């Protein structure tokens, strides 16, 4: 059986603005494919972010909101309380989510807000040109850690999945990556589990996806994927950190 590239109806024809080798395009597509496969195109409201994910509402072919920096989980809370039966997810980077948006992220999990966060972690601020984020690895050079991040000056990388998995309100928490096709498939499954968790009304869900930023890492795309596989996963181990206690009630686990 021939398999070809078929663009999901849940993506528009707007060309990506992403740099060569960036993983945002893959992750956008995975979200769009899952929405389409679950038959939820007309039932979905996406909430974007500020940073490289800022134009997600231009790429997704369903309703979308552009919030301010870091506030997406609060905005999504407002949407979900009005439309509890709809699929509501945020698409946020690590600067947006793990720095300025920490409060909104933590408390949406504390409330067990029935939303999903798609968290794209590329270990720095991409859109503004590669500054240190809370997720920057020790020793990693960025424009604001020109000699590499040191724990004395800037502390340690922030582990969001590990933190949110301690929250009783969090139902599904997973960390994945997209550095090879097998990982892409795993990421898609995790996104589907997160969305199914939400549609089953089980509570807060998040998928953290480790993502390459060749431009700001000063690498070519292949080097960047290798860096994710070898160095990022060592600090940010992949896997499911929390799954619903009764998986059978959440659909196809």
Partner 1 sequence: MAELVLMKGNEAIGEAAIRANCRHFFGYPITPQTEVLEHLARRLPEEGGSYVQAESEVSAINMVFGASASGARVMTASSSPGISLMQEGISYIASAELPAVIVNIMRGSPGLGGIHPSQADYFQSVKGGGHGDYKLIVLAPSSVQELIDHTMLAFELSEKYRTIVVIFGDGMLGQMMEPVRFPEAVTSAVDRPWATTGMQGRGPNIVHTLYLPADELENHCFHLFEKYAAIEACEKRSSEYLTEDAEILLISYGITSRVTKAAVEMARENGIKAGLFRPITLWPFPDEALNNAARNAKTVISAEISMGQMIEDVRLSIRDRIPVKLFNRIGLVPSPEEIFEAIRKETEV
Q: Which residues bind partner 1 (CB under 8 A)?
A: 12, 41-45, 47-48, 54, 57-58, 60-68, 71, 74-83, 86, 103-104, 106-107, 110-111
Give CA–CA dist 54/224, Å, rounded: 22
Give CA–CA dist 97/134, Å, rounded: 10
In the beta sheet, which residues pair with residue 118? 91, 207
Count CB atoms within 10 A of the CB of residue 159: 18
Count CB atoms within 10 A of the CB of residue 151: 10
| Residue corresponding to tokens 């993506």 | 11
| Nearer residue to partner 1 within complex by CB, 26 or 65 | 65
Query: Which burial class, exposed, middle or buried, applies to 30 when counting CB atoms under 10 A from its CB (0-12, 13-18, 19+)?
Result: buried
Question: At 191, is the secondary structure helix, strand, or coil?
Answer: helix
Q: What angle do CA 25, 30, 91 make, to 5 degrees?
A: 70
Q: Find the shortest distance in angstroms from Cβ 126 to partner 1.
A: 16
| Nearer residue to partner 1 within complex by CB, 125 or 179 | 125
| Nearer residue to partner 1 within complex by CB, 65 or 219 | 65
| Nearer residue to partner 1 within complex by CB, 99 or 110 | 110
Give CA–CA dist 154/80, Å, rounded: 36
Give CA–CA dist 90/71, Å, rounded: 10
Q: Find the shortest distance in angstroms from Cβ 111 to partner 1.
A: 8
| Nearer residue to partner 1 within complex by CB, 64 or 251 | 64
Q: Find the shortest distance in angstroms from Cβ 166 to partner 1.
A: 17
Q: Find the shortest distance in angstroms from Cβ 53 to partner 1.
A: 12
Q: Find the shortest distance in angstroms from Cβ 61 to partner 1.
A: 6
φ/ψ of residue 247, rounded to 5:
-60, -30
| Nearer residue to partner 1 within complex by CB, 42 or 245 | 42
Q: Find the shortest distance in angstroms from Cβ 89 to partner 1.
A: 13
């Amino acid at each position: 059986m021939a398999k070809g590239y078929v663009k999901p109806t849940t993506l528009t024809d707007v060309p990506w603005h992403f740099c060569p080798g960036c993983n945002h395009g893959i992750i956008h597509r995975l979200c769009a494919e899952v929405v389409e496969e679950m038959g939820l195109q007309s039932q979905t409201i996406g909430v974007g972010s500020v940073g490289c994910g800022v134009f997600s509402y231009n790429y997704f072919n369903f309703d979308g909101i552009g919030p301010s920096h870091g506030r997406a989980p609060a905005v999504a809370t407002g949407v979900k309380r009005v439309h509890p039966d709809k699929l509501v997810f945020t698409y946020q980077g690590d600067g947006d989510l793990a720095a300025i948006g920490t409060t909104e992220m933590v408390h949406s999990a504390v409330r067990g807000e029935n939303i999903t966060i798609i968290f794209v972690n590329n270990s720095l601020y991409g859109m503004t040109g590669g500054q240190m984020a809370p997720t920057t690895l020790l020793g990693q050079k960025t424009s604001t850690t020109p000699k590499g991040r040191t724990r004395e000056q800037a502390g340690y990388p922030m582990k969001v999945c590990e933190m949110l998995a301690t929250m009783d309100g969090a139902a599904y928490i997973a960390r994945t990556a997209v550095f090879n096709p097998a990982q892409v498939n795993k990421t898609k499954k995790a996104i589907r589990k997160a969305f199914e968790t939400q549609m089953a009304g089980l509570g807060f869900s998040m998928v953290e996806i480790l993502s390459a930023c060749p431009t700001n890492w000063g690498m070519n795309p292949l080097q960047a994927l290798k860096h994710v596989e070898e160095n990022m996963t060592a600090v940010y181990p992949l896997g499911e950190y929390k799954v619903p206690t009764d998986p059978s009630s959440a659909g196809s686990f």
